[in-house]
Structure 1
Amino acid sequence: MKRLIRDFLRSGLVQRALGLLAAEYLRLVWLTNKFSFEPPDVYEQVEPQMPCIFVFWHGQHLMTPFIRIRGSYRAKVLISRHRDGEFNAIAAERLGVGTIRGSGDHSGSFHRKGGVGAFKEMLRALEENWNVATTADVPKRARIAGLGAIMLARESGRPIMPFAMVTSRFIRLKNWDSTTINLPFGRGALVGIDSVSVPPDADAETMETLRLRVETLLNEATRKAYAAVGRPEGALG
Structure 2
Amino acid sequence: MGLLKRITRSRGFRRFLAEIAAGYYRLVHATGPKIVEPADAYDRLRRLGPGVVIAMWHGEHFMMPFVNRENMDVTAMISRSGDGDFAAVLAEKLGISAIRASGGSKGAREDTARADRHDNGNTLRRGGIKGALAAISAVQEGRFVALTADVPKGRPRVASDGIMLIAKKSGRPIVPVAIATGRYIRLESTWDKSVVNLPFGRVAIVFGDPISVPADADSAATEAARKAVEDGLNRVTARAYAIAERRDG
TM-score normalised per structure 1: 0.90
Aligned to 1:198: 213
Aligned to 1:67: 67
In 2, Cα distance between the equivalents of 1:107 and 1:144?
17
Unaligned runs of 5+ in 1: 233-237
- Confirm whether residue 18 of structure 1 aligns to residue 17 of structure 2: yes
- Confirm whether residue 164 of structure 1 aligns to residue 164 of structure 2: no
Which is richer in strand? 1
Aligned to 2:122: none
Deviation at 1:56, TM superposition (A): 0.4
Q: For structure 1, which segment, 208-217 or 133-142, has the greater mean C-alpha deviation from structure 2 after superposition?
A: 133-142
- Confirm whether residue 134 of structure 1 aligns to residue 147 of structure 2: yes
| Matched position secondary structure for 1:90 | helix
Provide the aligned length of Structure 1 versus Structure 2. 230
Unaligned runs of 5+ in 2: 114-125
Deviation at 1:150, TM superposition (A): 1.3
After superposition, the C-alpha distances for 1:188-211 in whole angstroms (9 at most, x for unaligned) are 111112000111100111000000
Aligned to 1:235: none
Question: Are the equivalent residues in 1 in contact too, given 2:53–2:144 (CA < 8 A)?
Answer: yes
In 2, Cα distance between the equivalents of 1:47 and 1:4?
50
Aligned to 2:135: 122
Deviation at 1:29, TM superposition (A): 0.7
In 2, Cα distance between the equivalents of 1:156 and 1:182?
33
Question: Are the equivalent residues in 1 in contact too, given 2:102–2:108 (CA < 8 A)?
Answer: no
Question: Are the equivalent residues in 1 in contact too, given 2:186–2:196 (CA < 8 A)?
Answer: yes
Deviation at 1:114, TM superposition (A): 6.2
| Matched position secondary structure for 2:130 | helix
Aligned to 1:212: 227
In 2, Cα distance between the equivalents of 1:176 and 1:231?
27
Percent identity over paired residues:
41
After superposition, the C-alpha distances for 1:10-39 in whole angstroms (9 at most, x for unaligned) are 223212211111111111111112111111
| Matched position secondary structure for 1:87 | helix
Q: For structure 1, which segment, 13-22 or 216-225, has the greater mean C-alpha deviation from structure 2 after superposition?
A: 13-22
> Residue 114 and residue 167 in structure 1: after superposition, are their counterparts in 2 closer, same or farther (change >3 A)?
closer
What root-mean-square deviation, in Å, do the aligned CA atoms of Structure 1 and Structure 2 show? 2.1
| Matched position secondary structure for 1:79 | strand
Aligned to 2:91: 92
In 2, Cα distance between the equivalents of 1:213 and 1:102?
24
In 2, Cα distance between the equivalents of 1:109 and 1:62?
29
In 2, Cα distance between the equivalents of 1:103 and 1:35?
35
